[in-house]
Chains A and B, each alone.
Chain A
Amino acid sequence: MKTLYDKIWESHVVAYESEKVALLYVDLHLIHEVTTPQAYDGLMKRGRKIRRTDLTIGTLDHSVPTKDTLIEDEFAAKQVQVFRENCNKFGVKFFDLGTQNQGIVHVFAPEMGLVQPGMIIVCGDSHTSTHGAFGALSFGIGTSEVEQVLATQCIRQIKSKNLLIKVEKRLSNSVTAKDLILFVIGRIGTEGASGYVVEYDGEAIRNLSMEGRMTVCNMSIEAGARAGLISPDEVTFEYLKDRAYSPKGKTWDLALKFWEDLKSDSDKAFDVVLSFDASEIEPQVTWGTTPAMVTAVNGFVPDPSEAKNDLEKSSYERALRYMGLEPMQKITSIKIDRAFIGSCTNSRIEDLRMAAKVVKGYRVNPKVKAMVVPGSQTVKRQAEAEGLARIFVEAGFEWRNPGCSMCIAMNDDRLLPLERCASTSNRNFEGRQGRGGRTHLASPAMVAAAAIAGHFVDVRDWRFR
């Protein structure tokens, strides 16, 4: 009996160096400006070439501005310029600022059909786990490993254990993939999946669109997982059909036949199985400084004195101090200064549709500065064509160009100290969105509703206009 992870692993072993250490072949290497300059440098110093430029593709996303294409920050400008020069010198295709396919690395690649079931995909970015939504084994790597993959197209790995997370039954109305994964992380903790590759299954997962599945797999890393996986099905195949890099004609039939067999043999093939009931999941909002510090929108900030042990107590106290929250404060009483809809977690067309549905006919609260940063140029064009951009702009949201933006705050999009933000991104770490900034993670619909109300509200009670 084998899991999907076992099968993908086995089909990619080039050689075993020793009993435990395998060399795996990488089918697609995604690169961006932040984690590659030192890798390119290493190649040049040793006179090495890129083994497979045809399996390597790049974008500019992390440090780029979202207002226009002019980069004022001299360090960011240099990093972007060095990336362009390196890609050109080594013959690597990349999507430059302002060109029609540019976008966040984990958004443009799936939408172009570059991510297909059964592949191994790596990128110097921890949210590479996103692509597991297609049944592709995908994980983040460090810059030294980026250099290794550029030079050899292989990566040394030891096998992780298998964890199955089953989410049974259906999500309630207005409860989304983001709420599902935040709920799971809240239950299992920041290390709940450490040492494992997680496969997600169950009715609630099967009912998710590809966008929703990407949101779930994207945040696997926040529970410490090596990777997240969802076995491919009709939803996956439908999404892939006719995308730019999807197989066509007879090759499609060949691929489809292979993809249809890509699933785990039985729940018994897993080292651990955890089950959750989707109907119990309410809209989630984080209150602390890890994604596991999360509760339902109708819940309360916890009281540190009720923590399990001293260590948990002190980390709760620290988090509350940083976040400027009181024990037992109602989540719906938390007022926000900023709202951010974007990031590799929630910036795809479906995310923007969900947010726009909430926003339609309303105005952003006068005390809130709100922005929408679509995940890619393609998402941006589509949202404009569908009239979503107009809904946002008329409501008072800023409508920006694609990039990581205020998820990592490497560009000018960042919180000021003590500013409080409702954010669709993936990390609420101290300073993540700007030094001293306070981040509350939630779904696009919940962030949109908070932007209008000025504080968190239960989007299940929203009066859509």
Chain B
Amino acid sequence: MEKFIEHRGKTVALFQPNIDTDQILPKQFLKRIEKTGFGDFLFYDWRFDENGNQNKEFVLNQPQFKHASILLAGKNFGSGSSREHAVWALRDYGFRVVIAPSFGEIFYNNCFNVGLLPINLPEKTVEELVRKNEEIQNYELVVSLLKKKVSDDFGLSIDFEIEDFRREKLLNGWDDIDMILRFEKEIRNYEKKRPAWMPKV
């Protein structure tokens, strides 16, 4: 997994609540068996009309927000389905960070297995970032996971919170399986004392 230490990038805002993973990556693309190449399908039903033509009004299609890599979103972003495909789509499109007042829990977990950084900030703070994103052309943020800080070129500096184990994982690009297998002895001991009544297939 790609490490995440610090990232500077352009912002784009989709500030509405409850953007679920069905919107982030619609179901028709869940039939793919690859783990990459989902970027073209991100927000597909919002980005394109029924005939596959770009919807000019949708924010990601507006030229000033091209190549944005930091998404400012509303509360409960990524709720609903567990599909990790939604995170792959955001990553493949070019996003490295999503900032929102809150996230769907499975989506939030999935981000850390893909190398996308989800940041929880208070609703008022996200609103302020959204306002700046509208007012300032090519508005950029610097997101430092190392310092747990979001800042801009205009004096803004906000600390954010993140669980240590998640932070370390992203900073190092660690694979969970390697982490878990350090406990091989404990897993074997646990397996010896599992109750006999539990089903085996």
Contacts and interface: CB of A to CB of B under 8 A. Distances in A.
A410 B30 CA distance: 8
B17 interface: yes
Contact of B31 (A56, A63, A432): A63
A365 interface: no
Contacts of A37: 33
Interface residues of B, number: 57
A361 interface: no
Nearest to B188: A14
A29 to B, nearest CB: 10
B180 A154 contact: yes
Interface string B76-116: 10011111110100000000000000101110011001100
B27 A408 contact: yes
B90 to A, nearest CB: 13
B191 to A, nearest CB: 8
B201 A56 contact: yes
Contact of A435 (B26, B85, B194): B26
Contact of B199 (A245, A290, A315): A245
Interface string B180-192: 1101001100110
A233 B104 CA distance: 31
B83 A35 contact: yes
B16 interface: yes
Contact of A38 (B20, B34, B50, B82): B34
Nearest to B196: A251
A408 B31 CA distance: 12
Nearest to B113: A144
A195 B105 contact: yes
Contact of A79 (B31, B183, B197, B198): B31
B201 A55 contact: yes
B22 interface: yes
Given A142-B109, A153-B187, A315 B165 contact: no
Contact of A224 (B16, B33, B105, B195): B105
Nearest to A115: B199
B176 A431 contact: no
24 contacts: A14-B183, A23-B180, A25-B190, A35-B82, A46-B177, A79-B33, A125-B82, A142-B82, A142-B109, A143-B85, A144-B113, A144-B114, A148-B177, A153-B187, A154-B183, A191-B75, A194-B76, A247-B199, A254-B195, A258-B195, A315-B17, A427-B22, A431-B45, A435-B50
**Which 9 pairs from chain A and chain B are nearest by CB?**
A144-B113, A255-B197, A75-B31, A142-B110, A142-B84, A37-B33, A140-B82, A245-B199, A126-B82
Given A79-B31, A290-B20, A315-B18, 10 more contacts: A18-B164, A35-B84, A37-B33, A38-B34, A73-B31, A75-B32, A119-B198, A141-B82, A194-B76, A408-B27
